[in-house]
Structure 1
Amino acid sequence: TSTDSPGRHPSSACSLPSRESHPDSGFGRSSAEHQNQISPGNRLEKAPEGMVLAHPPISSSISRISSSSDYAVPPDAERLGTMRNLSKRKETSEDIPITVRTSVIPQSDFEMSGYLTTMSENRLRSLKRRYVVLKNAQLKFYRTQKHLLRDEAPTTIINLRDVKAVSKASTKSGGHGFELVLEHDNLRYQAESEKATEEWFMTLNQLLKNITIADLAQRSRPIEAELAGWVTKVKHGHQKRYYAQLTGDKLLFFKKPDDKIPSSHQNLRGARICEKNKSSSDEYSGSSGDENVEVGGIRGSGNGSSSVSMIYNGDSDYSICIEAVDSDPQYLILRNSEDKDRWLYYLKLASRDATLCGTSFEILIERLMLDPDPLNSELWKDVLFRLIEENPTETLTKIDDLETRKKALELDLGTFLFASVQMRSIAIQYHVDLSQNLLSSAIDNPCLQNELYCQLVRLTSGSMEFVSQVWKLLSLAIPLFLPKQYSVLWLLKMHIERKRKDGNQEERNTLARDPCDTNLPYSMAIKLPTGDHHVVEFDGSTEIGECLSSLCLKLNLRPALLSGYSLYANDPSGGPEDLVLLKGKQKICDCLSLWEKQMKDTKSGKITTEICMMKIQLRLKNYWNSLSEEETQNEKLFICHKLAEEVVAGHLPLSNDLAEEICALYAQMCFGDPQRHSEEKLLDEVLAKFYPNKLLQVVNIRSLKQSVLDHWMNELKGVPVSECVRLILIVLRKWKFFGSYIKEAKLKINDKRIFIALNESGIHLLSDQLEVQRSFQFHKLINFGEYHGDFMLTVSRTLPPNAHPEETPQERMTFAMSRKSIEQLTTHLAEYIRCQKLLWKMSRK
């Protein structure tokens, strides 16, 4: 045999066919040697008694393939025949015993040999050309075939059990080969031809799958999986439910949790793991050998498989896409977002995703997650958890954006200052402002959220002097947002679980009290129309609407929409009489924070506690005259006090005698029976609260006091409060605009003083004598609001038949008002329109 025409090694059980025109095809075999192949029929073994062969005999017609055949053989058929000819049953002491469980496992090993060349852009390829023998799940590398024939030791041995994955590879020059992914290295080879390269790739790929299944079949104990659970696997347009286990870098799919042999498995090393995009199209239904590793069953449309269109019925929100090299994509559908985040993280960790190779702190978290007992792990004593830096130079989490990284370092510094400066009652505002700045800067940025929680866990794990302050900041952050990175969220849960063991130090009565009777952590007094205060309780998530609903229930009022009551706060940028309507969807804590900020921005000089205090009161926003028959007793009492303000402001047309009688009724209702010699201060208070100001300026005060006192003592002595309320309402309901919201204004066109009244029937313009001038229903309003510092109202009108052609069907009116009055009038007009639509919808049901 010549040097360039290598012979056949006696130990080779079988070989691949090669072309006669290439004496050295990379596998070291010629067509003459092919004629001496062992017939597959001679290698058939008898199955054990009571068993059947898992792999039936191969027809000899396929094995007799020769390059000198007169007919062209399809490449797939030639490859299949060749691979089957190459398979030979191991007959060593290491064979897997055939049992009921292992009879369905591929019991054959693959043997190949040939020249492989390390893939490189270097032209001196012959320097890296080696003769390789695949046998007994090992790749043995020899310098040439002669060294093999001389029984010399191989230069390199690769155990296929150490190979994590096999994938196709290519060079810039257009060469094609395959890549062996090891634990710490990647090796790339190519054979002498593309066909031979494809044979090596398919053989190694199938052998790795058989090794995986064989190793699992020999186990006597369950697999120690890093993560396991039921998932729905979607591939090739069908989905099926499996029990998945993640072991190392392999994802195994079992039909049942107690199965020993997986139905299929997926090698994750080098795979791309991502969340499934809702808008992405369905995966292509190409062919792949990945699913051919199913053992013990026949693939089909049964056994729970169904159409892939089912994943678009809402489950696609919790699905993960696995795109392995040279394999069709497959999807895992999980039950909820938490499961999806957990699987996504561990799958990326198994695939060696580059995005998880983060900072030293993140690597420490990964090491902690791999610990079998993370709560009692020694890693909690690591210096990264204990070391506290006042001026950090590196972030704890990986942040690529330079601007965000700079903000993260500022966040770390602010957190350290919050923990290192002792919290004092006289300087509590420093910590309040600092906590607000820290939380507000991180609330919209997921990267900063992860950084903040890592820093808080680090500070509460170390030896800070005022560590309780950090726990307070942590308790403020958790209701607002949680870390988006799964490893940080896992770290937070484990950290709280570790510290929870010390919870027995709490007071026993705190733990034993009834949660149904437990008060909310915060409370605030709300001023009622009667002048009394009612204390309401709330927490960080309580909304204005929830507080208003509970308040109406406790005060025996109808729901807020029917009774018309809302919560108002004093305007921080206005006068003492200016009020701001609080919307139902706002949180009470947000309102308090915003009010305090506006107060600091608008006020100058020293701000005392009395000034910097938000005062909330319950006031009538909308009055529905059509629903007056359903009013409760408290509603009638509250509206009487509201009308007292209108009486004092001169918004009700009252004569002198009627004003004196109304004033006496209010005095009896609020103060009860008078004494013969009532104090002058009490009468002054009665006149200031219940008598019109414009009449008080022109009347004789002494005679007015005597007249009111006579009405009070002679006519109303012993009259109860409910009767006083009834009499007041009987008198005042006779006015057409009873309960209306009234604002004073001036017409811009003639500077005439008027009143604008809002009620359920529309918007009305009243003269200074409270007589109706014009009225507009709400459906005729086109727009309204502030315009160049004035209140503008645009309404539609009906043109007469003889109107000018250029006359517009719209009318615009402008009124001079203060800025605060414009804001309040605009808000109340919009609320009247909105609430009237809601009432109309309720009446239609």
Structure 2
Amino acid sequence: MEVLSILLKNPYHHCLPHAIPVHMLNNTYQVISFDGSTTVEEFLSTLSTELGCRESAASGFALFSDDPIEKDLEHHIKPDKKLCDVISKWETALREKGSGKFENSRVIRLTYRNRLYFKNSIRTETDKERLLQCYQVNQQVVAGRFPVTRELAAELGALMAQLDMGDYSAANTQHNQPLAHRFYPYRYRAGLSNDELRDVEEKLRSKWVALKGRSSADCVRIYLNCTRKWPFFGATLFQARIKQPDLSMVWLAVSEDGVTVLELASMAVIGRYALSSIGLFGGLQDDLMMLIDAEDAASPVHKMLISLNKPKMAELTHLIADYKNALLRAGGPGTPQMNSLTRNGSHRSVRTKAASSLPHSSPCTLQHAPHGTHGHGTLPSHAGTLSDRNNTLTLSSHDYSHAHHGQPDILKATPDHRADKKRALAHDPGLA
């Protein structure tokens, strides 16, 4: 990869010896130069500047690589790694687990997308970040990881078509290509007949035509104002099985608020656990274990066992750790750093209560629990020494009906939050 980069690059375009494209979710890419000592953090800083985004610590955007063997699997690249080392390990894995030969037809694919989402940073996000967020949410909608009705899915799909391709034109052959596979949930089109699929396409196209004249900024504002009404906007969802206590397949939504267990079909809340209540967590044999602190020091610590594949287990563990560390840097109480199993500075007297079960309610109308004190717990490590903790967590397991999702008129969207920002700046000249 490094040799090809040097041989093929244009020296008038790049001052550093290597250059590599970084792909965005809106089907664009940015070529960034680097050298042998460039860390991922430095590479991201250059990329953010080129794109017009904030630094990764503020925006929550991160760099991901594809897997050299498994299709549709991505890996988060840690900021302290050297990019050349990452590329070298990727190529080594491709050679050792693949054909055994060097393949110059395949190179590592880097992707830039949001990983950590913080609600209090919305006011300072850039237009580029908002645009990329729309495409990321669209991916979640299409994959069934975002709760929408059929009508709302059609409205959002039409907005994405307008954002992606502009005003509809019958003379443009690209505009007459199928839209559903890009902008409409798979679960709503699976099993449909050809006539039914044609009806879906006509519905999407008619709503797209109705958006004629809407600018990209309008589409982004309307799309985000609508989708941010879901309480778990920005959370990363993992499909997993709770083994202890015994539950069926669920969604685990990981966000700055904590870990929330969602019912698989309706995405209704089953259990909610604040980050401050999650003590030790990490791999235990073939499962992920989380120890949930009780609301008082006299009560036992509860153990939660989660079954999911190893790459997702590692991703979930590091995600919880990074959210806890981010909250610590923001001013929370003492939290151990990476690869620590101690709980220095942890006092149960300030732990936030973690609800073990919550009543069934619609994910679109659920209110956020207020933030408690953050910063307890430890970051990922081996937890084999904790096998003597046999207490189990009790979750609600009664039948759930499908949640009813509201259908807001997204063309009558709420005012852009940037207007609030301008008013705040006008009253507070010291605000950055």
Aligned position for 2:352: none
For each residue in 1:757-806, what CA deviation from the matched residue of structure 2 results, as whole angstroms up to 9, or x when unmatched? 111111111111111111111111112222221222211113699xxxxx
Deviations 1:38-65 (A, max 9, x none): xxxxxxxxxxxxxxxxxxxxxxxxxxxx
Amino acid at match of 1:794: L
Which residue of structure 1 aligns with residue 274 of structure 2? 777
Shift of the alpha carbon at 1:730? 1.1
Matched residues in 1 for 2:83 and 2:54: separation?
22
Q: Percent identity?
A: 27
Aligned partner letter, 1:759: S
Q: In the alignment, which residue of structure 1 is the partner of 2:131?
A: 637
Give the C-alpha shift of residue 520 in structure 1: 0.8
SS in 1 for 2:147: coil
User: What corresponds to 1:732 in structure 2?
Assistant: 227
Q: CA deviation at 1:630?
A: 1.2
* Matching of residue 647 in structure 1 with residue 144 in structure 2: no
Residue equivalent to 1:674 = 168
1:600 corresponds in structure 2 to: 95
Opposite residue 138 of structure 2, the aligned amino acid is A
SS at match of 1:840: coil
1:827 is displaced (CA, Å) by 1.8
Structure 1 contact 783–793 (Cα < 8 Å) conserved: yes
Letter in 1 for 2:290: L
CA 1:576–1:673 in structure 2 vs 1: closer, same or farther (change >3 Å)? same
**Separation in structure 1 between the aligned mates of residue 111 and residue 37 of structure 2, nearest angstrom:** 20
Q: Pick closer, same or farther for the CA change 1:702–1:828 going to 2, 3 Å.
A: same
1:692 partnered with 2:185: yes
Q: Distance in 1 between matches of 2:297 and 2:314?
A: 35
Specify every segment of 5 or more residues in structure 1 that has no aligned partner in the other structure, as ranges: 1-424, 430-509, 802-807
1:836 shift after superposition:
2.2
Distance 1:689 1:795 in 2: 40
CA change 1:618–1:782 in 2 (3 A) is same
Q: Equivalences for 1:738-757 in 2 at 5 Å?
A: 738-748=233-243, 749-757=245-253
Answer yes or no: is 1:570 the counterpart of 2:66. Answer: yes
Counterpart of 2:198 in structure 1 is 702
Equivalent positions of 1:270-309 (< 5 A) are none
Asked whether the 8 Å contact 2:165–2:175 carries over to 1, the reply is: no
- Aligned-residue offset at 1:577: 1.8
Cα deviation code 1:313-363 (max 9, x no counterpart): xxxxxxxxxxxxxxxxxxxxxxxxxxxxxxxxxxxxxxxxxxxxxxxxxxx
Tell me which of 6, 10, 15 is aligned to 1:519: 15
Please, which of 96, 105, 110 is the counterpart of residue 610 of structure 1? Answer: 105
Instruction: Tell me if structure 2 keeps the 8 A contact 1:683–1:705.
Output: no
> How much does 1:608 deviate?
3.4
> By how many angstroms is 1:544 displaced?
0.8
What is the one-letter code of the residue matched to 1:818? N
- TM-superposed deviation, 1:751: 4.7
> 1:281-323, CA deviations, whole angstroms, 9 ceiling, x for partnerless residues?
xxxxxxxxxxxxxxxxxxxxxxxxxxxxxxxxxxxxxxxxxxx
| Deviation (angstroms), 1:678 | 6.6
Q: Is the CA contact 1:742–1:756 (under 8 Å) kept in the aligned structure 2?
A: yes
Secondary structure of the 1:729 match is: helix
> Structure 2 vs 1, CA of residues 678 and 693 (structure 1 numbering), >3 Å: closer, same or farther?
farther
Alignment of 1:183-332 (within 5 A): none
C-alpha separation in 1, matches of 2:292 and 2:105? 44
- Label 1:718 to 1:661 Cα distance change in 2 as closer, same or farther (>3 A): same
CA separation of 1:824/1:523 partners in 2, compared to 1, >3 Å: closer, same or farther?
Answer: same
Q: Does 1:579 align with 2:74?
A: yes
Give the whole-Å Cα distance in 1 for the aligned partners of 2:310 and 2:14: 44
CA contact (8 A) 1:542 1:587 kept: yes
Find 1:829's aligned residue among 320, 326, 342: 320
Cα distance in 2, alignment partners of residues 604 and 523 from structure 1? 26
How many Å apart are 1:537 and its aligned residue? 0.5
Q: Name the counterpart of 1:535.
A: 31
Aligned counterpart for 2:285 among listed residues 756, 773, 788: 788
In the alignment, structure 2 segments of 5+ residues that lack a partner are 5-10, 333-432
Q: Distance in 1 between matches of 2:263 and 2:74?
A: 25
Give the match for residue 404 of structure 2.
none
Q: Which amino acid aligns with 1:563?
A: S
In structure 1, distance between residues paired with 2:73 and 2:242: 22
- State the alpha-carbon separation in 2 of the partners of residues 680 and 578 from structure 1: 29
On the 8 A contact 1:798/1:809 being kept in 2, the answer is no
Amino acid at match of 2:124: E
Equivalent residues in 2 for 1:47-66, closer than 5 Å: none
Show the counterpart of 1:658: 152
Amino acid at match of 1:789: D
Between the aligned partners of 2:165 and 2:104, the Cα distance in structure 1 is: 31
| Match of residue 311 from structure 2 | 820
1:797 equivalent to 2:288? Answer no
Partner Cα separation in structure 2 for residue 607 and residue 522 of structure 1: 19
Taking the aligned partners of 2:87 and 2:37, their CA distance within structure 1 comes to 13
TM superposition shift of 1:572: 2.5
Q: What amino acid is the match of 1:820?
A: P
- The aligned counterpart of 1:83 is none
Cα displacement string for residues 59-86 of structure 1 (whole angstroms, at most 9, x for unaligned residues):
xxxxxxxxxxxxxxxxxxxxxxxxxxxx
- 1:839 deviates by 2.8
1:713-732 matches, cutoff 5 A? 713=209, 715-732=210-227
Report the Cα offset of residue 529 of structure 1. 2.5
Assess, with a 3 A threshold, how the Cα gap between structure 1 residues 606 and 797 changes in structure 2: closer, same or farther.
same
The answer (yes or no) to whether the contact 1:784–1:792 under 8 Å persists in 2 is yes
1:828 alignment partner, SS class = helix
What code does the residue aligned with 1:810 have? V
Counterpart residue identity of residue 591, structure 1: V
TM-score between both structures, scaled by the size of structure 2: 0.69
Q: Deviations over 1:86-138 (max 9, x none)?
A: xxxxxxxxxxxxxxxxxxxxxxxxxxxxxxxxxxxxxxxxxxxxxxxxxxxxx
Alpha-carbon deviation of 1:519? 0.7
Match of 1:838 in 2: 329
The reply to whether residue 767 of structure 1 matches residue 263 of structure 2 is yes
3-state SS of paired residue (1:651) = coil
**Partner residue, 1:403:** none
Letter in 2 for 1:697: A
- Amino acid of the residue matched to residue 241 of structure 2? K
Question: 2 CA distance for matches of 1:747 and 1:724?
Answer: 39
Query: Is the 1:744–1:754 contact (alpha carbons within 8 Å) kept by the matching residues of 2?
Result: yes
Deviation at 1:571, TM superposition (A): 2.1
Q: Partner amino acid for 1:694? A: R
Q: Please state how far the C-alpha of 1:683 moved relative to its aligned partner.
A: 3.9
- Kindly indicate whether structure 1 or structure 2 has the higher relative contact order, using CA contacts under 8 Å at least 6 residues apart: 2
**1:837 partner SS:** helix
Q: Distance in 2 between matches of 1:608 and 1:551?
A: 27
Secondary structure of 1:674's aligned partner = coil
The residue matched to 1:583 in structure 2 has which SS? coil
Residue 605 of structure 1 deviates from its aligned partner by 5.8
Q: Quick check: 1:668–1:716 contact (8 Å CA) kept in 2?
A: yes
